[in-house]
Structure formats: structure tokens, C-alpha cells
Structure 1
Amino acid sequence: MNPDLEQLHPYPFEKLATLFNKLPASDKTPVSFSIGEPQHPAPEFVQQVLRENTALLSRYPATNGLPELRQAIADWLVRRFKLTTVDQDRQVIPVNGTREALFAFTQALLDRQRRPLVLMPNPFYQIYEGATLLGGGEPVYLPCTSASGLQPDFDAVGEDVWIRTQLLFICTPGNPTGATLSKAQLKALIQLADKYDFVIASDECYSEIYQDRAPAGLLQACAEMGRHDYRRCVVFHSLSKRSNLPGLRSGFVAGDGEILQRFLRYRTYHGCAMPVHHQLASIAAWNDETHVETNRALYVEKFRAVLDILGDVLKVSAPDAGFYLWPRTPIDDESFARQLKAEENVTVLPGRYLSRTVNGRNPGNNRVRMALVAELDQCVEGAERMRALIKRL
């Protein structure tokens, strides 16, 4: 077996299962804030496209996807991020969700003979780390603290680190923090990528869930700099959160055409083409914004309700975007999560499970991630129970 498998950490939900091991059964209805799986209904018009095209199960899909899908994605990018142009033949590749693509892209990109460094936010989506380790890279964890606006302090990264960097992961809006990077920050990172010759992979799968202002994107920053080739920049988007379609496994990678054409060669061998009927359903989803606006409004309503309940008993505030809360806990995060589960049957994810300890500090300590994905009444019920626990502490 690949010896690098031994470097992989248990997934956060494995740790959560261990934390809850042997807790007595509760007579209260469970409320889960732990898993970021959208629970709003999938759009009916997308389901209808799937039902009408099941005969396409008899066809092998092309790795590069249907031209119509790539064009729908390119058109959406132009509309959403105010781009001048996106070449659907060279700058877009449909993928089976961002998780699969983030992992595969890292394997294709890293040159392990150069002892590459891969920079990532801390806390982070664990795929960044696992993909790095299995690709022969060394993770460098950049702490996201209140002092740095819950995004990495890139100015604190030394030149010796930048010189060895091959790949920088950014997540905007962040998981779990909900913090976003401004266009000015993104442009500064692009300049660093030029100076030190590394690639920026921007995970933007939460970009369509926001309170007031649409988050900026990496390609948007490129376009404002006149870089319509999107050199050294790739973005990852998905229908999972935007359109409540996590089971469709549909997303895309877009950006630097030279990089993506080489990534396409990798994917051809990887054997991960999206089924044709999923592609047709994806075209329908990318071409419609009405369901996205409805979805966004539901999250805004839930944030307002939950924050109204918890705002005076917990150190918590609305995120820039995304559907997570990242509150500080009145006791350590593991103890808080276990007691909340035991006494109120409400599940949250300890922040330390999403972070790594570096130089004796873990930025996830004494925080929990709350995913407001359930229906409004469940979110309100869970928040009320959490409030009751906090009042007893």
C-alpha cells in the first residue's frame, strides 16, 4: 500500500463518533448542526431533466463534458463575476463535485521531486491536507484567527516558504469561518504567485450563499488586472450548496487554460467523467438564478433567527458568507459538543477537529462549527436547546 496513507488523519466525523461513543440514548428529537449537507429541496426543474433523460445511462460520457455544459458554466462565470470572456474549450472542465476535483488537481499538479510546500488555511477542508500528503507535498498551515479576520495572514509567510510553494489553497467564503477575501487581497496573492511561481486553487463552493454582498472571486480579480488568461489561477465551484444538489456530484474547475488542458489529460486516465444526464441537469441549474435567490433568502432567515436566540449568550456573529456559524464556546469545544449532545441531543463539530496544532496553538480550540442546513424550525429548536445548555453552565 502507498505508505503516504499512514499520514492521513481521521476524518472529523470519525473523531465526532468517538467523542459521542457510549453516550446514553436521548428522548429528545435529534438536531444536527454538524454536517454541511444542504437539506433544502432540490429544484424540481432539475429533477425533471434527470427523469426525462434516464435513457442516456447507456452512453459513456466524455471526460471534458458536453460543449453545452461548458458553455453554460462559462456564461455563468461571466455573469456572476463580471468577466469579459471565458473560453469554454480551454478554461472550463466539468467535475464530479469540488471534493473530487480538489483532490485530483493536487495529484496532477505537484512535482514531488522538488519537495513541494502546499499552503492552506487553518482551520481547513480536510481534502486540502489529504490531497497534499498523498501527492508527496508538505502541508503548511496558515492560522485563521480573529486578529487576521478569520483568513490567513499572508504577510506573515516568510520568503523561504514562498520559494518552495507549488500550490496555495484558499477558501473564500471560508469553511468553517465564513470569512471572505477581498479583491485587493486576491490581487496581492496573484502578484505573489507571479513572483514565486506557484498556482492558486480557490475553493469558492459557498460563494452563492451570502447575507448582503456577493463575495469576490479569484477570476474576477484576474479580470480586473487584465489577466484574461487567468494565469496561475484556478477556481472550484459546485451545485451542491448553490442549488441544493449534493447528490448530483456536479461542479467545475475553471481558470488557466494551459494548466487545465494538462489536468484534462490526467482526468482522462483517472476515469471520472460526469454522467450525461447529470450534465443536462447541471445545464438547467447553471442557467437559472431564481432558485438560488430563493435558497439564499432561506439561509438569511435562519441566520437572523438563530443569532437572535444565541447572540446574548454566545460569542458569535454572522459570517460574510456561507452557511456556517463559528462561535466561541464557554468551555472547551470537545466538552461543549459532548455535553450538548448528551443533554440536548444537538450535534455540533468541535473546532479542533477542523484544524491542526502548530507551534502549540490550534485556531479551532474553543470554537465549534454549526451548519445551518436544516429547515428553519429545526434550526430554531437546536438554538433554543443550545441556549438552555449555556445558561446552565
Structure 2
Amino acid sequence: MAIPERFSNLPDYAFPRLRALLSGIEPGGEPMVLTIGEPRHAMPDFVAATMAENIHLFEKYPSNEGTAALLDAISGWIGRRHGIEVSPSRIMTLNGTREGLFNAALALAPEKKKGKQPVILVPNPFYQVYAVAAAAVGAEPVFVPATDETGHLPDYASLGADVLDRTVIAYICSPANPQGSVADEDYLERLITLADKHDFLVFSDECYSEIWREAPPPGALAVATRMGLADRVVMFNSLSKRSNLPGLRSGFAAGSEGNIAQMRRLRSYSGAPLSLPAQAVSTAVWSDEAHVDASRALYQRKYDVADRVLGNVPGYRGPEGGFFLWLPVEDGEEAATRLWREAGIQVLPGAYLSREVDGQNPGQGYIRVALVADEEETERALGRLKDVIYKEGS
């Protein structure tokens, strides 16, 4: 059997491509892997005890949309963090945000819009699940460059009315992966106004929202609520980055009651709910901010390290949030290969996170570096990186 045609033009995922690129090359130093966005800070110290106290709940089937206690905890967190009231009926738990970002498109994207193939807008570069979701629902993905000229956020308003009138979903990530740019309230207001004018939904990927430099990023659902347009936004967040629990696979989606009801309906047929012990742990973790503050302080110190080591590199731009550096280079693949061969440092070519459009790949001249190691290792790795990539005459 042939694979479905809608998936035939998807490029290989970034990390298999990187393995192929570096295959057969010996690292030129102590290996330092700065590719994957897997937090290495300590998880909350109460997680193990909470899991142990609830271990007997593996005997029971879990609730699909989330236990009442967990939904209440998430609702309370949204209220404290974003200053809006979102009832539990407007929230659904997820196995991490990737599941939700994909399945929400299945649940909410119509097969046609105004009798034509629908469009899904994707920032370029982007988290790869956005493009796969578009392919799965038969939508046309339109990749919109998020470059230095646009503040590393997509300028969806620059698209023509013919595209916007077919749009059913626009993805936005803030703080952005990989660039670390934050969509401020003005940007979000313009995007939500555009969505209302052209009748589409905004899927707001906010999984890096609790890692920031100077001020907490605004949430799209909060902005939409103040505008009276909450039905235009579905927000996604998780405990992976906020609480250093990527293996727990625990997140949520929140939006209007109608949109969440449709997502819950699909999930009741095809989703895999979180186990009850995992939901108990999640309830405790969403209810605690002390560990989040401590982890954020560590990232802020690593921002300072990056600024100190790389601040004089032409084109360097420290992130506003998240834990990635988006570093300018001549060619991302060549830089990644040199770093591995000469210094044992593994980074991700920016082109692997982007799509070529009209002969241009906006990630081609970048590498992504994850600030997930401790402060000392981060400083050592960035120093070695600078010596290889940015030394005079290189």
C-alpha cells in the first residue's frame, strides 16, 4: 500500500535528520547535547510522594476529560496567572500539548470553508506538529515567515484576503520556539481581531509561557476574553517546561465551552486519558508556584550567561522567553557539523525547523541551542561554540 498522499511531502522529523547529518563523525570534545528541548532542572520535590500516595489508582480507568480536582486546579492557575475566570467545563486535560495541538485541528477544522479547501496558517519556523495537523485534516498549510524583520513572529495580516477568507486555524507560539520572541498584547489583539474579521480560530501554543526574562508573557485567551472574543482562541499549556516534567505528559487545552465540548467529544473516541496517579500529581503541581519561580530564576541566570558570552556576536539576540537561543550563522547544517566535529557540541540546524517557501528557508542561516544544561555547563558549551563558529576568520 502507498502511504496517504497528504503525508507524502512531509520532511523527515528534525532529530532523525540531525542523526543522519552527523553520522560517522567523531565528536571533537566532550559531547554536549544542546538540541532537544528537554528540561533538566529538578522536578518539584513533592512529585514522588504524591505519585506514591495515589499509586493504587492505576487499578481504575481514568476520566477522559480530567478529574474534577485537576480541572479545578487548572482553572485556578489560569485565574491566578491570567486574571480570567475559565470554568472547568471550558478545560480539557491532555497528554502534553502536542496531542492537543494536533487533535484540536481534527475536532475543529471544517472540511471546506466557503466551498473551498481550508487554510491553516503556520509560523515559519515552527513546531512540526502544526504542519502535520494541517495535512491530517486536508487543509492547505500556508507557512508565514517569522524573521528578524517581523520580530520573529508571523505577520498574518500581510496575507491576502483570498487566503485569510479560507483560513480556519492560525497557530501561534509565544514565547516562540525556536526564536524566544514574545507576542505582546498589541500583537495578540491584532491577531484576534483578524481572526474575528475572517472567521478563524487562533491556536495559542503557550507551553514556554512560564520561562521568561523580564515579565510574564500575556496569554491569548486572556486577551481574547477582555475583547469579548474568547470563542476565537484555544490555548494550550503543559507541565513539561513549566515544571520540568516532560515525562509526565500532562497538559491542557482551554477555550470556549463549545470548542472544548467538540474536542472532548473526539477524545472520548480516540484519545488516551492521563492515568489517575498522573492526574493527582498534576493537580498538586498546577497548585504550586514556588518550584516554577525557582526554575525560572535558573533560566534567567543562563540568559545572563548567554548575553555575556555571545553579546558581541553580530546578530545575536537574547530570548525574551523560553530556553532556546536562535543564533545567526552562515549555514545551519555546516555550523552544526563543525561544532560536532571540532567541539563535540550538538545543536540543531535551523532549516530543520522551517519549510522552504519560494526558494527561501527562514531557518537556513540559524542554529537552535537549548539552554537546558546547568549554568556552568552552559557557559562552557557556549564558550566552545563561540570559539568554533564566531572566532575571527571562521
Q: Same fold (TM over 0.5)?
A: yes
**Stretch moving more, 108-117 or 302-311:** 108-117
**How far does residue 247 in structure 1 lie from its aligned partner after superposition?**
0.2
C-alpha displacement of 1:61: 0.5
Partners in 1 of 2:333 and 2:283 — Cα distance? 42
- Residue of structure 2 in register with 1:105 after alignment: 104
Contact 2:27 2:345 in 1 (8 A): no
CA distance in 2, matches of 1:250, 1:378: 29
Aligned to 2:358: 359
* Cα deviations by residue, 1:117-173 (Å, 9 ceiling, x for unpaired): 000100000000011112211110110111111101223111111010011101111
For 1:333 and 1:37, the matched residues in 2 are separated by 21
1:167-188 Cα offsets, whole Å, 9 max, x none, are: 1101111000111111122122
- Please tell me whether the aligned partners of residues 169 and 201 of structure 2 are also in contact (alpha carbons under 8 angstroms): yes
Compute the displacement of 1:314 (Å).
5.1
Residue 378 of structure 1 is matched in structure 2 by 377
Tell whether 2:280 aligns with 1:290. no
**Which stretches in structure 2 are left out of the alignment for 5+ residues?**
none
RMSD of Structure 2 on Structure 1 (CA): 1.3
Of all paired residues, the percent bearing the same amino acid is 41
Match of 1:265 in 2: 265
Please say if 1:218 is aligned against 2:220. yes
What SS does the aligned partner of 2:170 have?
strand
**Corresponding position of 2:249:** 249
Structure 2 letter corresponding to 1:154: Y
Q: What is the letter of the counterpart of residue 140 of structure 1?
A: V
Structure 1 segments (4+ residues) deviating >3 Å: none
User: Equivalent residue for 2:88?
Assistant: 88
Q: Is the 8 A contact 1:313 1:391 kept in 2?
A: no
- Tell me the amino acid that sits aligned with residue 99 of structure 2: E
Q: CA deviation at 1:384?
A: 1.3
How much does 1:299 deviate?
0.3
Contact 1:7 1:133 in 2 (8 A): no
Aligned mates of 1:213, 1:297 — CA distance in 2: 12
Matched position secondary structure for 1:103? helix
Alpha-carbon distance in 2 for matches of 1:66, 1:155: 39
Asked if 2 retains the 8 angstrom alpha-carbon contact of 1:318 and 1:325, the reply is yes
Find the aligned partners of 1:280 and 1:286 in 2 and give their Cα distance.
10
| TM-score, reference length from structure 2 | 0.95
Q: How does 1:111-126 map to 2 (within 5 A)?
A: 111-113=110-112, 114-126=116-128
Distance 2:156 2:262 in 1: 29
Count, aligned residues: 387
- Aligned partner of 1:128 in structure 2 is 130
Does residue 73 in structure 1 map to residue 74 in structure 2?
A: yes
Q: 1:171 aligns with which of 166, 170, 173?
A: 173
Distance 1:119 1:254 in 2: 20
Distance in 1 between residues matched to 2:167 and 2:324, nearest whole Å: 30
Further displaced range: 93-102 or 187-196:
187-196
Q: What does residue 196 of structure 1 align with? A: 198
Runs of 5+ unmatched residues, structure 1: none
1:350 aligns with 2:349: yes
In structure 1, the partner of 2:54 is 53
Moved more, 5-14 or 275-284: 5-14
Q: Which amino acid aligns with 2:172?
A: I
Distance of 2:181 and 2:8 partners within structure 1: 32
Q: Which amino acid aligns with 1:235?
A: M
Separation in structure 1 between the aligned mates of residue 195 and residue 313 of structure 2, nearest angstrom: 43
- Is the CA contact (8 Å cut-off) linking 1:121 and 1:143 kept in structure 2? yes
Measured against aligned partners, the alpha-carbon deviations of 1:344-386 in whole angstroms (never above 9, x if no partner) come to 0001111111111112221112111111011112111111111
1:12 aligns with 2:14: yes
CA shift digits 1:4-41 (9 cap, x unpaired): 23232200111111110111254x22111111000111
Secondary structure of 2:231 counterpart:
coil
Q: Distance in 2 between matches of 1:147 and 1:103?
A: 29
Counterpart position of 2:39: 38
8 A Cα contact 1:122 1:363, kept in partner: yes
